[in-house]
Amino acid sequence: MSPSRPYLLNALYEWILDNRCTPYIAVNAQYEGVIVPTEYVQGGQIVLDINPAAVYKFAMGKEVLQFSASFAGVSRNLYIPIPAITAIYSKETGAGMVFPANEYDDAVKSDAVVAVAPVAAEGDDDQGGPGASGQGSTSKKPTLRIVK
């Protein structure tokens, strides 16, 4: 499956704005392809205000976030690959999400097919009683199993 980060990022961004709060993102400034003002990077990270009032030419896609913003009165163009975004949160409440560091590693490595298979549960089968169907018992809860 494709990474969920771009979808969650967009949803949380809209949610933060809908609640009249200021969306901030934390960015791994050392991630390949990141273009941010390096003089504001601290400890390899930069925190950015992405409130519509603070940015212009804002474009968030599935692979990249781009916008322009003013830093010390100087307009700068920023280019941030989505995997470089490590968190999004509300400045006012702190509500938001920290993204898993390895989400994109797993998506890239995963060329296996994932199948959903029922799991046998003690005393539970599709006929209502233990062993009633003669075919073994299965629960209604699916589990994931990687098939290579």
- Give residue 112's pLDDT: 41
97 contacts 104 by C-beta, under 8 angstroms: no
How far apart CA 44 and CA 67 sit, in angstroms, is 20
142 to 112, 121, 146: CA distances (angstroms): 18, 11, 13
User: What domains sit in the chain, N to C, each tagged with a CATH number?
Assistant: 5-108 (2.30.30.220), 112-148 (no CATH)
- Give residue 52's pLDDT: 96
Q: At residue 99, does pLDDT exceed 60? A: yes
Could you tell me which residues come within 8 angstroms of residue 5 by beta carbon, excluding any fewer than 6 positions away? Answer: 82, 83, 85, 99, 103, 104
3 contacts 9 by C-beta, under 8 angstroms: no
The pair of structure tokens assigned to 131 is: 């062993």
Binned at pLDDT 50, 70 and 90, residue 70 comes out as very high
pTM: 0.70
> Tens of pLDDT along 10-63?
999 999 999 999 999 999 999 999 999 999 999 999 999 999 999 999 999 999
Binned at pLDDT 50, 70 and 90, residue 102 comes out as confident
Q: At residue 129, does pLDDT exceed 90? A: no
- Give residue 146's pLDDT: 57
Binned at pLDDT 50, 70 and 90, residue 120 comes out as very low
- Give residue 101's pLDDT: 80
How far apart CA 39 and CA 143 sit, in angstroms, is 48
- Give residue 55's pLDDT: 97
123 to 28, 74, 118: CA distances (angstroms): 50, 69, 14
- Give residue 103's pLDDT: 75
